[in-house]
Amino acid sequence: MDERETTGTATAMIVKTTAGDETGTRPLAGTGVSPGTGYGPAHVLVGEIPEPDKEARHDGDAAAERDRAERAVEQVAADLEARGARAGGEAREVLGAQALMARDPSLAMEVGDLIEQGVAAPRAVFDAFGKYRDLLAAAGGYLAERVADLDDIRDRVIAVLTGLPMPGVPADAAEPFVLVAKDLAPADTALLSKDVVAAFVTEQGGPTSHTAILARSMGVPAVVGCAGATAIAPGTPVLVDGASGQVLLAPDPARVAEARAADEARRAVLSAATGPGATADGHPVPLLANIGGPRDLESALANGAEGVGLYRTEFLFLDRETAPSGDEQEEAYRAVFEAFPQGRVVVRTLDSGADKPLAFLPPPEEEPNPALGERGLRMFRRYPEIMAAQLGALARAAAGVSAKVQVMAPMVATVEEAEWFAEACRTAGLGDAGVMIEVPSAALRAADLIRAVDFFSIGTNDLTQYALAADRQVTAVAGLQDPWHPAVLDLIALAASAASGAGKGCGVCGEAAADPALACVLVGMGVTSLSMGAPALPWVRAALSRHTLAQCRAAAVAARSATSAQAAKSAARAELPGLGALAL
Ligand code: PEP
Ligand code: MG
């Protein structure tokens, strides 16, 4: 039996598929990033713009050629903005950002320089964009996922210059279709709605790619990282499960009916669980949202978040060359505090470095292992003035708001670091200071660390990376990046019990909290709150509401008694019978 596993879904589930189903059609599998079932004919996005001739030269009038290139770029940027304005909401921001990227002066300069050397405009555009593409791809993480945006702009500009049809999706399909592509750019998806797209399937992209973000904001099921998807014959009926990541080709009608019925039943279960997070026997577990800035608030509130458990402040400043001003920071923080007048907001100070490089906080030199280098709090040791500015802005923003504001530092490894950070918070006037537990040393000595701070929040993404020595950004070791591993569970249990012994809170804000089964296990280990990407909230709320605290504890014991991630997951699930109703 050919089995494969994929990690890192929106709900952080491990997906297991087998080759061949009962219809005899080989299913495809990827990462489910937007749950739900979608069914319809495949619309395979093709029409790649061919690479312009390497040797193509213009007729000698460089000024005219430059002008032509500039007008083409402007036409594309204006078109992106117009599409954004028509679509509204999040698409407006995404397309606006893409238009800004198109108008980047350094790109224009690069194109102009090549044209001065005699290169024809289409080739100059191709080469100039190629240079920036490589830089983004090499940066990894969030930045690498912007490569699709840049490629899309390049293809659109070349289409204008060469008179080719604009790449993209037809807006006039007769019935809802499953949109299949190598990767999707914001311009492809902006004008689409739930009424025309049954599901998205892409070969590339991860949980933070635009396909994932937009699919979730549209409420359309999506599977990314699905190898072989673009080989699907156009028009083939496709059944997509955006939770498990399974993609079935030409399924039996009975199978489709079954999937639809299961989806409806699942939705009924999801909407039956409302209100604050709690187990079936009433043990409260506040359910909080992970956000990257004020624009994520709408979804957090819509999904019933009781507050924010992780405000990733570096996402406000990812594309900045200079440090943001105190006033600008204060405004962004206050907007979030005011959205939860009765709730709590846990702000993480800048987590720069490794997968989240910030241009204004560069490491001193090229690091051989950035994940083990100067990142997170370590960067503040180098730039204490940036920490003081951020803590000052947070204290000013927190003054006079009713939300409970908590501040925490990422990447803390020692008691001394925890003390240093807590002291800096107090000096700034912030009385509720915590640390993230994402380094094994911090978990192992959690009983020492908790004396220095007011709370813990466990970052299971990094804790898993460091416990298993598996870089988050290296696909080849993705199989090891599994928070179900009993070694990771043991570290979490250590932190939770140290916090509880001191009468302090211990939340989880890594992807593990978004996995409904693992969320029950975390609660069973003594974790006191769970924070996740907003779309996962209803799933976790429903899973908790269907199990007692005793069942969660039994699941935790079972999981920790196992010797592998897969066995831990199976053992826990056997103790959690209520998951069946969610078809998980
Ligand atoms: C984590 O490491 O689990 C976490 C929540 O932080 P980030 O994913 O932003 O590093
Ligand atoms: Mg982290």
Is 216 inside any structural domain?
Answer: yes
Q: One digit per residue, pLDDT tens: the chain, 584 residues?
A: 232 223 333 222 222 223 333 344 578 998 887 878 999 999 888 656 889 999 999 999 999 999 999 999 999 999 888 877 876 766 777 788 888 889 989 889 999 999 999 999 999 999 999 888 888 888 776 777 778 888 888 998 998 898 876 676 765 567 899 999 888 876 677 667 778 899 999 988 766 566 776 787 677 899 988 999 989 988 899 999 987 889 999 999 999 999 999 888 888 888 899 999 999 999 999 999 999 899 889 989 999 999 999 999 998 887 788 889 999 999 999 999 999 999 999 999 999 988 888 888 888 788 889 999 999 999 999 999 999 999 999 999 999 999 999 999 999 999 999 999 999 999 999 999 999 999 999 999 999 999 999 999 999 999 999 999 998 877 677 778 889 999 999 999 999 999 999 999 999 998 899 889 999 999 999 999 999 988 889 999 999 999 999 999 999 999 999 999 999 999 999 999 999 887 66
User: Per-residue pLDDT tens for 500-522?
Assistant: 999 999 999 988 998 899 999 99
* Cβ count near 1 (within 10 Å): 5
**What residues flank ion ligand 2 with Cβ within 5 A?**
438, 459, 462
Number of domains present in the structure of the chain? 3
Q: 175 with 40: CB under 8 angstroms?
A: yes
Is 277 inside any structural domain?
Answer: no
Which of 267, 299, 331 is the C-terminal boundary of a domain?
267
- Give the CATH number for residue 246: 3.50.30.10
Whether 177 and 235 share a structural domain? yes
Distance from residue 458's CA to the centre of ligand 2 (Å): 9
Residue type, 275: G
Q: 150 with 175: CB under 8 angstroms?
A: no
509 labelled catalytic:
yes
Atom from ligand 1 closest to the CA of residue 458: 3
Pairing verdict, β 37-44 and 177-181: parallel
Whether 372 and 502 share a structural domain? yes
The answer, yes or no, to whether any atom of ligand 1 lies below 6 A from the CB of 277, is no
Q: Whose CA is nearest to atom 10 of ligand 1?
A: 462
Q: Which of 7, 314, 348, 461 to mutate to test the pocket of ligand 1 (most atoms within 8 A of CB)?
A: 461
Distance from residue 306's CA to the centre of ligand 1 (Å): 20
Is 498 inside any structural domain?
Answer: yes
Whether 176 and 303 share a structural domain? no
Whether 189 and 300 share a structural domain? no
pLDDT value at residue 171: 53
Which of 113, 143, 162 is the C-terminal boundary of a domain?
162
Which of 128, 162, 196 is the C-terminal boundary of a domain?
162
Atom from ligand 1 closest to the CA of residue 410: 6
* Cβ count near 394 (within 10 Å): 27
Whether 334 and 402 share a structural domain? yes
Whether 135 and 207 share a structural domain? no
- Give the CATH number for residue 486: 3.20.20.60
Distance from residue 407's CA to the centre of ligand 1 (Å): 15
Is 468 inside any structural domain?
Answer: yes
Whether 318 and 251 share a structural domain? no
- Give the CATH number for residue 135: 1.10.274.10
The answer, yes or no, to whether any atom of ligand 1 lies below 6 A from the CB of 512, is no
Is 12 inside any structural domain?
Answer: no
Is 275 inside any structural domain?
Answer: no
Q: Whose CA is nearest to atom 4 of ligand 1?
A: 459
Whether 309 and 405 share a structural domain? yes
Atom from ligand 1 closest to the CA of residue 290: 5
Please provide the distance, in angstroms rounded to a whole number, between the alpha carbons at the two ends of the chain: 22
The answer, yes or no, to whether any atom of ligand 1 lies below 6 A from the CB of 462, is yes
Distance from residue 447's CA to the centre of ligand 2 (Å): 21
Whether 231 and 343 share a structural domain? no
- Integer Cα distance of 169 and 172 in angstroms: 9
The answer, yes or no, to whether any atom of ligand 1 lies below 6 A from the CB of 508, is no
User: Per-residue pLDDT tens for 69-94?
Assistant: 999 999 999 988 887 787 676 677 77
Among residues 226, 425, 506, 509, the one annotated as catalytic is 509
Is 55 inside any structural domain?
Answer: no
Q: What DSSP state is assigned to residue 95? A: H
The answer, yes or no, to whether any atom of ligand 1 lies below 6 A from the CB of 459, is yes
Range of the domain at 241: 24-47+169-267
Among residues 210, 506, 520, 552, the one annotated as catalytic is 210
- Integer Cα distance of 104 and 140 in angstroms: 21
